[in-house]
């Protein structure tokens, strides 16, 4: 299914019935990264998984986290969702923060999944722009091959190389403009730390114990700043904990959703 915003098609899946749960994917993935979560939760919840512009089956290319949050609001209005659970993984979490800054009244509960509230430090921002230069000069494959290793736990790489293959296959490889736009949007995102203490909804924070991109320390800071939040650390998982340990990840989401 698709909606059109600013002459750009935004694709989404809408499966199941019950309390609506919107899951926002990370970079450089699409909504396909949520396949295991949709299969597990759709029997009891309405699972809505959009493709950000420039990814999956959506058109265009992203320019900012704010823009992607506005795309989400267009989808929320199209589906006439009164209140819903909002979950965001990595870049999807950055977009979720921007959405909360404008539309917190629409959100029933929040799930911050392998993400962080802080803006990029100067050195991290520079790494993203170095990656952009690499993609422009070499194409996307080399960058994505290295990125796929970065987001996985060393235990996964050593013991389950097939997961590394699956993760790489889920990455968007043939839309250079989208990869560049996504990296720019991440690099220039604002600091969302001031929002944390204002989150009054039930909040779940999930992080892989070996997450190098959005580490456990960042998850703990969010947990300490969000009143009454729940923190779950997934053993033997890196940044893509939902793909590395789907059973434990799904259990965390299922238990949280049962309470809200």
d(C-alpha 35, C-alpha 33), whole Å? 6
C-alpha closest to that of 131 among 186, 185, 180? 180
Q: What pLDDT is stored for residue 172 in this prediction? A: 83
Compute the distance between CA of residue 214 and CA of residue 129 in angstroms, rounded to an integer.
18
Three-state secondary structure call for residue 191: coil
The predicted structure's pLDDT at residue 173: 77
Q: Give pLDDT tens digits for 87-126.
A: 999 999 999 999 999 999 999 999 999 999 999 999 999 9
Sequence-separated (6 or more) residues with CB below 8 Å from residue 18: 44, 45, 46
Q: Which domain holds residue 75?
A: 2-259
Structural domain tally of the chain? 1
Low-confidence ranges of the chain (pLDDT < 70): none
CATH of residue 232's domain is 3.40.50.1820
Structure confidence by residue, pLDDT tens digits, 220-251: 999 999 999 999 999 999 999 999 999 999 99
Residue 140 C-beta-side C-alpha neighbours within 13 Å: 17
- Per DSSP, helices labelled H in the chain are 35-41, 65-79, 91-103, 122-138, 141-150, 154-159, 161-170, 176-187, 193-196, 216-225, 241-244, 246-259
Phi and psi at residue 228, to the nearest 5° = 70, 15
pLDDT of residue 174: 81
């Amino acid at each position: 299914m698709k909606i059109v915003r600013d002459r750009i098609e935004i694709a989404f899946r809408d499966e199941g019935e019950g309390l609506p749960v919107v899951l926002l994917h990370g970079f450089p993935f699409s909504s396909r990264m949520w396949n295991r979560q949709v299969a597990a939760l759709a029997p009891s919840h309405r699972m809505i998984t959009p493709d950000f512009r420039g990814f999956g089956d959506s058109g265009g290319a992203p320019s900012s986290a704010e823009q992607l949050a506005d795309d989400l609001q267009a989808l929320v209005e199209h589906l006439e969702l009164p209140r819903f659970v909002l979950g965001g993984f990595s870049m999807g979490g950055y977009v979720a923060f921007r959405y909360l800054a404008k539309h917190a009244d629409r959100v029933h509960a929040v799930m911050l999944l392998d993400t962080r509230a802080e803006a990029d430090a100067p050195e991290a921002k520079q790494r993203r722009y170095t990656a952009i230069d690499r993609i422009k000069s070499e194409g996307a494959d080399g960058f994505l091959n290295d990125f796929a290793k970065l987001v996985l736990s060393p235990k996964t790489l050593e013991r389950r190389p097939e997961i590394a293959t699956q993760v790489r296959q889920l990455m968007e490889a043939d839309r250079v403009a989208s990869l560049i736009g996504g990296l720019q949007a991440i690099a220039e995102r604002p600091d969302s730390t001031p929002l944390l203490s204002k989150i009054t909804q039930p909040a779940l924070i999930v992080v892989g114990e070996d997450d190098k991109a959005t580490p456990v320390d960042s998850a703990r800071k969010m947990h300490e700043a969000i009143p009454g939040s729940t923190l779950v650390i997934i053993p033997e998982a890196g940044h893509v904990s939902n793909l590395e340990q789907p059973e434990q990840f799904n259990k965390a989401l299922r238990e949280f959703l049962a309470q809200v």
